[in-house]
Amino acid sequence: MTETTDTSVILSFAHVTGKGRRFHLKDINLELKAGYIYALMGENGAGKTTLLQYILDERRRYEGQIRVAGEDIRENHAGIMNRIGFVSEDNHFLENRTGRQNAALLGMLYDNFDMEAFGQAMEQMQVFDRKLYKSMSRGEKLKFQLAFAIAHSPCLYLLDEATAGMDPVFRITLFEMLQHLIVDERCAVLMTSHIASEVEKKTDYVGIMENGQIVRFGESMDLMTL
């Protein structure tokens, strides 16, 4: 009998266990489907950012399996990075280049980078794309990163504390854009957050992490009101 794959599953963890220098993951089992915004919550050191790094960093060693769009990330990590948009304060771009120059140069690393889509997203978020990356504020850098991600049409968006310390207007714009991205059910969003009210009202599902484990997972409205 031929095994079938649920094409709506964008990201899956199957019994993922790994040890790092500071944080560990313990038997993570999770499926994220297209068309939804997912959140991870937990105290500092619970493993939220570590979970994202196991996807992004091919040097990480672990037991179990992580798949993006049905493909094991260990078999084609470079190709899978083409399908992921990452937004984080720790993300690196060319400091002495403008936003537009960063997009033009680094966009060549992606198969389907669209400069027009990048420009439209920057305009929507009211970020000047001819400003040097090193001169951008934290908020401008995160907005630029989201515009950059949108321009290469990933199937998975990973946002690490993207709304922490940001003003309410930014948060409204961000979630409006995320809702627009998932409406055609071609991608999923996984974000880490410390803001309970934001997770409850703006995301579909949430996983609560403690000590490297997902101890609870369910619909955000239900889980956050317990």
Give residue-wise pLDDT tens across range 11-61: 999 999 998 767 789 999 999 999 999 999 999 889 999 999 999 999 999
Stated pTM of the model = 0.94
HSE value, Cβ hemisphere, 13 Å, CA-based, for 46: 17
Q: Read off the pLDDT of residues 144-166 as tens digits, 9 standing for 90 and up.
A: 999 999 999 999 999 999 988 88
> String of b and e for 121-131 (b: at least 16 CB within 10 Å)?
bbebbebebee
Instruction: Give Cα 12 to chain centroid, integer Å.
Output: 14
4 pLDDT above the threshold of 60 = no
Averaged pLDDT score across all residues of the chain:
93
Residue whose tokens read 């990452």: 86
Q: Which of 163, 108, 104, 109 is nearest to 130 (CA)?
A: 104
The pLDDT score that the predictor gives to residue 133 is 97
The pLDDT score that the predictor gives to residue 106 is 97
The pLDDT score that the predictor gives to residue 137 is 92
Q: How far apart are CA 187 and CA 83, in angstroms?
A: 10
Q: How far apart are CA 193 and CA 165, in angstroms?
A: 11
3 pLDDT above the threshold of 70 = no
CB atoms within 10 A of CB 72: 14
